[in-house]
Structure 1
């Protein structure tokens, strides 16, 4: 398969410079993740939207070539929302859409609470509106989960800066396989040469922030009519957290992928793209 790289841009905003990767044509959709460092190879989740939309894949502060944080709070999810708003304004859009997977979805929840007026649509995949690690033994980050120790060891090893490319690739593969409904299909799902790093400072900040994160009482403020998606067997952000969001957000809709873990956009790719396409058409975002 011939790979189509993303175009790299540096966006000057009122809150500093941000490295953004752009692909596709059409109405704009922003995608980011709390502690991923993206590059020109893109992102599997973001690729789900490039067929019908112009996608902006954002490196947040401290990731890639985006501005380094001056204060620790700049690594927070709350600050990330304001940074995304500054990028939208710098690009000249009165509104755009936002799609986030996992911690990117948590940022999306905050975005919807504080800036629904800036959003044509909001897609939240495999995520939560409150701390999940210690809230459910179904979560792989809960000490009672049978694969807790394996996941923690892999995360700590991936934080090391002295890893060779092959070592990082091997560890990332093993970490991801823990969150697949069919781990044996890893090579099939991740067959394109997309690669990214983990920002250790952002990850370390998130671990602390997640322990006190709970915006469930504010979910009623979201007016963007979000699409909430979950894999039935998600071990990172279990299905119960998506059900909770759907119950508390006015006019939201929930779609459950019955043969997926944490990556429905790969595990049930055709259905995933059909579901998001239908939703984006309904919201006038295609």
Structure 2
């Protein structure tokens, strides 16, 4: 489904009804708006596991502007702030109020910008394997994820080096998906990553734009105290991409936050420990309720 919003087409899809049957009446369910990471991916890799939550919420999957099935406006309009505006506009278009906004990885960057620009818009935030900055964070004395260099092959390290130095091409992205992406998961789950990523498409232009123009200036550390809605902060013990200390920083500085560690997961904790993930999110959704 598509909505024309803020000068571009935004793709969205919905799993689950907005109401559940309780006895002899219909009861409204909360909405969870799901924002994918990348940037440059689409929502599809989140769908198998987030879709399981449709028993407690209506799930709104979104392809952010410039990626997935959404339109391709000028990349200059593809900022975290504008993507947050698009989410608010989409919810208005759908008649959704006080949604729970779920952001995975860089989708969490968008969710944080939304919570800061529109303080009373969301009913709650779920920040999954995300970070308040793309810069390195100081060691906080807590658990440290095993670095990529301690796990990966020389070919994987070379492929990662090309991407993280800003060399974003079809060739380097292809090598990254093949050689590096499995290491985003905990060691026991690496073989499950290719199947997950096969679900989604990669937009090279958006990935390059993210690495060159968005990520270098992304830093909301000084503003986290301004977030007024409840936040559930989730992280994987083996996540070297958005490491555990990033989530601990979020939880320490967002006033109404709850921190949950997934000890057998990396960056894709919703897939790696799906049952535990769904249980934790269902409990959080129950504390938010329906507006």
Q: TM-score, normalization: structure 1?
A: 0.81
1:253 maps to which of 247, 250, 258? 258
Q: CA RMSD in A?
A: 3.3
Q: Cα gap change, 1:16/1:193 in structure 2, threshold over 3 Å: closer, same or farther? A: closer
Deviation of 1:104 (Å): 0.8
Deviation of 1:274 (Å): 0.5
2:170 maps to which of 160, 163, 168? 160
Give a deviation string over 1:200-254, Cα, whole Å, max 9, x none: 1221121122122111111111111100001122111000011111111111110
Number of aligned pairs?
269
Partner of 1:117: 120
What SS class does the counterpart of residue 211 from structure 1 fall into? helix
Q: Cα gap change, 1:223/1:152 in structure 2, threshold over 3 Å: closer, same or farther? A: same
8 Å contact from structure 1 (residues 179, 262) kept in 2: yes
2:84 maps to which of 71, 81, 84? 81
Q: In the aligned structure 2, how far is the partner of 1:36 from the partner of 1:45?
A: 20
Partner of 1:21: 13
What SS class does the counterpart of residue 100 from structure 1 fall into? strand
8 Å contact from structure 1 (residues 44, 194) kept in 2: no
Q: In the aligned structure 2, how far is the partner of 1:13 from the partner of 1:259?
A: 40
Which range moves more in the overlay, 40-49 or 275-284? Answer: 40-49
Q: In the aligned structure 1, how far is the partner of 2:283 from the partner of 2:33?
A: 18
Please identify which structure carries the higher helix content.
2
8 Å contact from structure 1 (residues 37, 63) kept in 2: yes
Q: Cα gap change, 1:210/1:37 in structure 2, threshold over 3 Å: closer, same or farther? A: closer
Q: TM-score, normalization: structure 2?
A: 0.79
Q: List gaps (5 residues or longer) in structure 2.
A: 19-29
Is 2:67 aligned against 1:63?
Answer: yes
